[in-house]
Amino acid sequence: MRRLLFFYPRAYRRDRGPEILETLQEYAGTSRTRLAVNLIRHGLRTRLGRPASRTVVVWAALFTVACGLFAAAFGSWVGWQTIRPLHESEAAQVAAELLPTQNLKVDTDEPPAKFVIYGQPLGWYSVRDLLLGDGGEYGQSGVGAGSNGPADHPERDLATLRENLRRGGWEFREYVRPDYGHEVYAGRGDQQLDITFYEYNYGASYISLGMDRPAPALATVGGVLGFLAGAVGGFLLFGWASRRTRSVFVKLLLGFGLFFWWAPIVLAFPQMVEHHLSEWHYSWHPLWEWLGQPALSLPFLLGTGLLVLALAISALARAQVRRADDPVPG
Amino acid sequence: MSEMREATFLILTALADEVRHGYGIVQEVSALSEGRVALLPGTLYAALDRLAAQGLVERDREEVVEGRLRRYYRLAEHGRTALAAESARLRQLSTAADARLRTLRPRSV
């Protein structure tokens, strides 16, 4: 129980700690969990400078977790930059390994960057696309190959593909797509494939092979480190602002800012869960997609602007108090 | 003064007749409310801090009992006034409610 006092600020612990511990000794019949929750809640309220507030811990938690998640997304994005660059030759090599008789031809350009939007690396010219509804187009660049003409024996090609995938040590799953044909997802090491057998009404079948990279280990490392740094930083920042001002305007800015931060997450997260549960993935989608980014980057940016404004007003509020406290010259 | 919360009213009442330490207040509040209000330590000390800041309670003395610090609290003069005012307000409301209930009571045949 002594450890739970660490949720209180140090000065408070020094003054009240022994007394609270003495009182705690008397609560013999009370559930330890109930006592712990009570001490954590009040300790955090005190630390956030609002011991009487019933909601400050909830606001702090929303801000802290959001900061953690967005920092984790950034950290994982940095980790994603460590993937090996893709080359057309790699797609040609894999196509030859898996479908040797089909003579698939590389049909994509050499990727200009690891992540692209509409085939181009991010740049100032991407701002419009990113902010105004096309942010979902941002993603990892891939290379691919396809058949030049209809396959003569698609069933036989599919059997060959399965056999070669097994022989080559690939993990894979197959899905029948009633709309267009048959799809195979496969992964091995740092290669992941999406191979589609398109079937057309007149019986012709075309094969397409797309390749990109699964999440590298450093994306997880970056995500975890990012979350920890973001959450700690977010909590400290919230506490700092919370202790500086009681302004209703700042509270409104905080409320709207957090709404714009959380709305994309609330919208995107269930969809991503459903998507991941509905079909096998050799590697999970990047973390930022789970947070609705950059598909919904405009609300995120708007929320960031409001929260930065709230922090700026909090900083100025303290400065004003200090100025008022200054001794009158002369 | 704004309406007093029940826990505040009970804490002030617990301190009205004698000085008490933290757990003494908890026990007295439980007795006064017939077990309905059970103050946990975090809630108790947050309330005592608030009441002290409002000038309603004061620290009285400290004792070390079996190596443990025990701090006693007493009702401040301002707290006595506030408690009396709240008690009068509740009494007036209670009297009014009783009077209304008497008029509505069905007559026996």
- Residue ranges of alpha helices (H) inside B1-109 are 6-14, 22-32, 41-53, 77-104
Q: What percent of chain A has pLDDT over 70?
A: 95
SS3 B100: helix
Record the tokens describing residue A112, joined without a space. 């200009």
Binary contact (B45, A52; C-beta < 8 A): no
Binary contact (A19, B45; C-beta < 8 A): yes
Reply yes or no on whether the pLDDT at A327 is more than 50.
no
Domain that holds residue B78: 6-104
Sequence-distant (6+) residues with CB within 8 A of A245 are A313, A314, A317, A318
| Residue A185 β-bridge partners | A173, A194
CATH of the domain at B58: 1.10.10.10
Question: Is B109 a domain residue?
Answer: no
R_g of chain A, CA atoms, integer Å: 27
The pLDDT, as a whole number, for residue B108 is 55
Option in A19, A25, A42 nearest B43 (CB): A42
What digits encode the pLDDT tens for the residues A82-99?
A: 999 999 999 999 999 999
Question: Is B46 a domain residue?
Answer: yes
Record the tokens describing residue B16, joined without a space. 């009205």
Question: Is B63 a domain residue?
Answer: yes
Report in angstroms the alpha-carbon separations of A266 from A259, A272, B45: 10, 11, 37
DSSP A255-305: HHHHHHHHHHHHHHHHHHHHHHHHS--SSPPPHHHHTTTTTTHHHHHHHHH
Helix B41-53 vs helix B6-14: crossing angle, to nearest 10: 80
The pLDDT, as a whole number, for residue B68 is 82
Report the pLDDT averaged over residues B95-108. 81
Mutate to test the interface with B, among A13, A19, A27, A35 (most CBs of B within 10 A): A19
**ipTM score assigned to the predicted complex:** 0.85
Mean pLDDT across chain A, nearest whole number? 90
Question: Is B66 a domain residue?
Answer: yes
Report the pLDDT averaged over residues A248-257. 95
Question: Is B1 a domain residue?
Answer: no
Question: Is B85 a domain residue?
Answer: yes
Contacts of B64 in chain A (CB under 8 A): none
Binary contact (A19, B69; C-beta < 8 A): yes
Option in A22, A34, A38 nearest B69 (CB): A22
The pLDDT, as a whole number, for residue A204 is 67
The pLDDT, as a whole number, for residue B91 is 95
Binary contact (B26, A39; C-beta < 8 A): no
Binary contact (A46, B46; C-beta < 8 A): yes
Mutate to test the interface with A, among B4, B20, B27, B45 (most CBs of A within 10 A): B45
Q: What percent of chain A has pLDDT over 90?
A: 72
Binary contact (B23, A26; C-beta < 8 A): yes
The pLDDT, as a whole number, for residue A328 is 38
The pLDDT, as a whole number, for residue B95 is 95
User: Which position has the higher pLDDT, A246 or A47?
Assistant: A47
The pLDDT, as a whole number, for residue A330 is 34
Contacts of B49 in chain A (CB under 8 A): 51
Reply yes or no on whether the pLDDT at A186 is more than 60.
yes
What digits encode the pLDDT tens for the residues A142-158?
A: 999 998 777 777 788 89
| Residue B72 β-bridge partners | B21
The pLDDT, as a whole number, for residue A149 is 75
Q: For chain B, how many structural domains are there in total? A: 1
Report in angstroms the alpha-carbon separations of A287 from A70, A75, A238: 9, 10, 24
Q: How confident is the model at residue A203 (pLDDT cuts 50, 70, 90)?
A: low
Could you tell me which of A205, A192, A277, A237 has the C-alpha nearest to residue A68? Answer: A237
Sequence-distant (6+) residues with CB within 8 A of A315 are A244
The pLDDT, as a whole number, for residue A4 is 86
Q: How confident is the model at residue A196 (pLDDT cuts 50, 70, 90)?
A: very high
